[in-house]
Amino acid sequence: TQQIVEFCLQKDPNNRLQTAAEMVTFLDQALADEGGGGYESSSGVWRPQPTSVTPISQNRVLSAPPTADAAMPEPPPGKRRGWLWLLPLLLLVLGGGGWLLWSALDRGDEGGVIELPEHNGGTAEGVAEVVVATATAVSPAVIPADATSTVAPTITPLPTLTPLPSATATLEPTVTAVPSPTPTAGPTSLIVGYSVNNRPIEAVRFGSGSQVVLFIGGLHAGFAPATVSLANRAITHFTVTPEDVPQGVTLYIIRNASPDSPNVTGELEGRLNANGVDLNRNWDCRWEADAKFRGVVVPDSGGPRPFSEPETAALRDFILEIDPVAVVFWEARATDGLSSPGACGTRSLVSAPLSQVYGVAAGYQIGDFENLTNQEINGDGTNWLDDQGIPAIAVLLPEYAEEDWFNNLEGIRAVLARYAR
């Protein structure tokens, strides 16, 4: 049976058994050669057990039977059963041999010798060897362990992700408030009104603070011309040195509140406008049409009614418009000067502190003019303003024609500093 396996495992198909008849014949011969008990051959002839066993030489090679089929008589059906039991064994051997052959052929990258196990039931010695054709591929055993491919790997770049656009909120347009125009630091000239003869009443503004301070010159321009020159000099000073106006303060200076009055220094005519009305008797505090001057009644000097004159009406409207924290009228005259607070009643309501500030700084007396002179004043401007809750004072210069500049400059600075914030 070992030889049968060897024939079945021949690598060359031409060296194998070609037909079933050849296999049966070869099987009968092999059984007879190996020596067994009597058996019935495939041809139906009984063959007795040989008396002696002749071992198969190791050098003996069994040749395949001729390819031509020999005509054999068909054995009787009853005699075929003797060897039919070998068919399953033969099929098992053929299947195992085919599997081994297929495994050897499938390992095309390996070469060498396949060792078959020694047949236990035969007398053949040694091991039959079947040489398997060496495959052309190199065995992995001869490949260096550290062999490295020299072909650079192909790197496939990952696709670049394109970020989706983020949702953009629709913003409502921002409304920017237009700032209100802010007055410049000055000087800025403006007209507050006109006289009976249509002469302008001019005011000059300095600074742009919220605290408004007003100085008025020339209410009796012809009577006390020093009050006009004092106002002009103050305008010149603050034009040259605007830094003297503190932050937070707006300063107004009126040059000449009565431009129509005749230049008659110290006389009644110098106090009257073109209508013959004393402008400091035309305000609405104890007003009288026939007002007094130096204790003497002057007919129609108070005007037909309070604020009947364009000059006083313009001053009133301007003061109420700018809403000042302090109003100073420059007048004349009082020996050594006087700072007199407005008081429409028996006493001042809001003006006494202002008179103290100016009088102390200028070195002038401080007191109510009416009390000092023991006379009543009709239609006075400072008295009306104090009654309106606006601090107001009358500063009487020592002379009609001399402005006493330096003392009054100190008084002006003190008032500005008092109301600065």
**Is 148 inside a domain boundary?**
no
Would you state the pLDDT for residue 150? 46
Same domain as 196, residue 129: no
**Are residues 123 and 29 part of one domain?**
yes
Q: Based on the fold, state whether residues 277 and 391 are members of the same structural domain.
A: yes
Q: Is residue 272 situated within a structural domain?
A: yes
Range of the domain at 25: 2-70+79-135
The answer on 210 and 92 residing in a single domain is no
Task: Tell me if 170 is assigned to some domain.
Answer: no
The pLDDT of residue 141 is 40
Q: Please report where in the chains the tokens 């401007």 appear, as a residue.
A: 381
- Boundary (domain end) residue, out of 135, 153, 171: 135
In a domain, 49, yes or no: yes
What end-to-end distance do the CA atoms of the chain give, in Å? 132
Q: What is the pLDDT along the chain (421 residues), one digit of tens a residue?
A: 566 666 666 666 666 666 776 776 767 676 666 555 444 544 454 454 544 444 444 444 444 444 444 444 454 444 445 445 566 566 765 665 555 555 544 444 444 333 434 444 443 344 333 333 333 443 444 334 444 444 454 555 555 555 555 545 444 545 455 444 445 567 999 999 999 999 999 999 999 999 999 999 999 999 999 999 999 999 999 999 999 999 999 999 999 999 999 999 999 999 999 999 999 999 999 999 999 999 899 999 999 999 999 999 999 999 999 999 999 999 999 999 999 999 999 899 999 999 999 999 999 999 999 999 999 999 999 999 999 999 999 999 999 999 999 999 999 999 999 999 7
Sign of CA dihedral 35, 36, 40, 41: negative
Same domain, 118 and 195: no
Whether 130 and 193 map to the same domain: the answer is no
* Residue where a domain stops, chosen among 112, 135, 158: 135
Residues 249 and 359 occupy one common structural domain: yes
242 and 343 assigned to the same domain: yes
How many other CB atoms sit within 10 Å of the CB of residue 57?
Answer: 9
Helix or strand (DSSP H, E) at 47: strand 46-47
Q: What pLDDT score does 121 carry?
A: 42
CATH number at residue 370: 3.40.630.10
Q: Report which of 160, 322, 161 is spatially closest to residue 253, judged by C-alpha positions.
A: 322
Examine residue 367 and state whether it is found in any structural domain, yes or no.
yes
Mind giving me the DSSP string for 211-272? EEEEEE--TTTTT-THHHHHHHHHHHHHHH-GGGS-TTEEEEEES-S-TTS---TTSGGGGB
Considering the domain boundaries, does residue 320 fall inside one?
Answer: yes
Same domain flag for 221 and 105: no
Total domains in the fold of the chain:
2
Residue 129 sits in the same domain as residue 197? no
Same domain assignment for residues 127 and 221: no
CB 221 within 8 A of CB 259: yes
- Residue 109 and residue 235 in one domain: no
Domain end position, chosen among 119, 135, 151: 135
- Predicted local distance difference test score (pLDDT) of residue 390: 99
How remote is the C-alpha of 270 from its chain's centroid?
A: 72
Q: What is the pLDDT of residue 22?
A: 72
Query: Does residue 140 lie within any of the structural domains?
Result: no
Q: Which residues of 171-201 are buried (b: 16+ CB within 10 A; e: fewer)?
A: eeeeeeeeeeeeeeebbeeeebbebbeeebb
Rounded Cα distance between 269 and 244, Å, is: 37
Say if residues 235 and 253 touch (Cβ distance below 8 Å): yes
Is 156 within a domain? no
pLDDT at 159: 52
Q: What is the pLDDT of residue 17?
A: 63
Note the pTM of the prediction, 2 decimals.
0.58
